[in-house]
Amino acid sequence: MPCNWKFPAENFGGDSYHVQWSHLSAVTTNFSSGAATKPETTGSLVSPGNGHVLICFGPNDVADPPTPEILEYEKQIRPEVEKRLGPRLGRVNPIVGTAFPNFSMLRATSRTFRVWHPRGPDKTEVWSWVYTDKAAPPHVKEAIRLAGVRGFSPSGTFEQDDMDNWQECTRTCRGTVSRRMSVNTQMGLGHERFDDELGAWASDFRMSESNHRQFYGRWAQLMRADSWADLPRANGSGGNGHAGHE
């Protein structure tokens, strides 16, 4: 793809506010549940530090691929999921995220893992997998496979539009005027806090650039450091006593 690798990585980890504009065409033609575009959906952007970033919905917001087989299966396994995850399940409902720097995962709309390989300036090669529960019956696995092909793949009704965004963001950043300025990632500034129960930074509202600040903050630390020893162990927001854990 003709883009810088950081755009897809950032997109999967923090760009909760692009769905309503970039993907409304796929939402209204039923390629997703549409949870992200519903005003009643709750959630938060969560970062445990070191640049890792997750977009989370509220515990009861459903964003599974909108196929009856998958929804039915998720309902069936819910008691076991609750048993295995315990109270954590009610605390955090991650639907998409990036393990810093370039490994992303998605649960909503499709089930996929990604690696964004930098292939030189403005070039990214994508490796993509669809994952399913090993124990799921064949018809559920098939439904998840097809949700992957149809939602998040080169032809995916969501992802083909994302690629245009990543390409155009990269192009815009190359502009003479853009290069004179810093990128503005102020959305929701001051409306995030360290959540002791989660052990992570969390935004107050589900639209925010708090995760962008975490992701690029960590990236900037890495780019500035001369050695691993020079690298701060805290996350990019700095100054928080809780953020030193690995």
Binding site residues, other proteins, CB under 8 A: 1-3, 21-22, 24-26, 28-31, 125, 128-130, 142, 145-146, 148-150, 153-155, 157, 159-161, 163-165, 167
Q: How far is the CB of 186 from other proteins (least distance, A)?
A: 25
- Nearest CA to 220 among 235, 209, 199, 210? 235
- C-beta closer to other proteins: residue 85 or 149: 149
Residue 172 and residue 178: Cα distance in Å, rounded? 7
Distance CA 224, CA 150 (A): 41
Q: Which is nearer to other proteins, 75 or 171 (CB)?
A: 171
> Do 192 and 209 form a contact (C-beta atoms < 8 A)?
no
141 versus 218: smaller Cβ distance to other proteins: 141
Q: What is the CA radius of gyration of the chain?
A: 18
Structural tokens at position 152: 């998040």
Both tokens assigned to 193: 């806090």
CB of 245 to other proteins, least distance (A): 37
What whole-number distance in Å separates Cα of residue 125 and Cα of residue 76?
A: 37
Instruction: State in angstroms the smallest separation of the CB of 148 from other proteins.
Output: 7
Residue 152 or residue 201: which is nearer to other proteins going by CB? 152
Calpha distance 137→65 (Å, rounded): 16
Place of tokens 């935004």: 203
Shortest Cβ distance from residue 102 to other proteins (Å)?
17
Query: Do 142 and 133 contact (CB within 8 A), yes or no?
Result: no
For other proteins, the closer of residues 61 and 162 by Cβ is 162
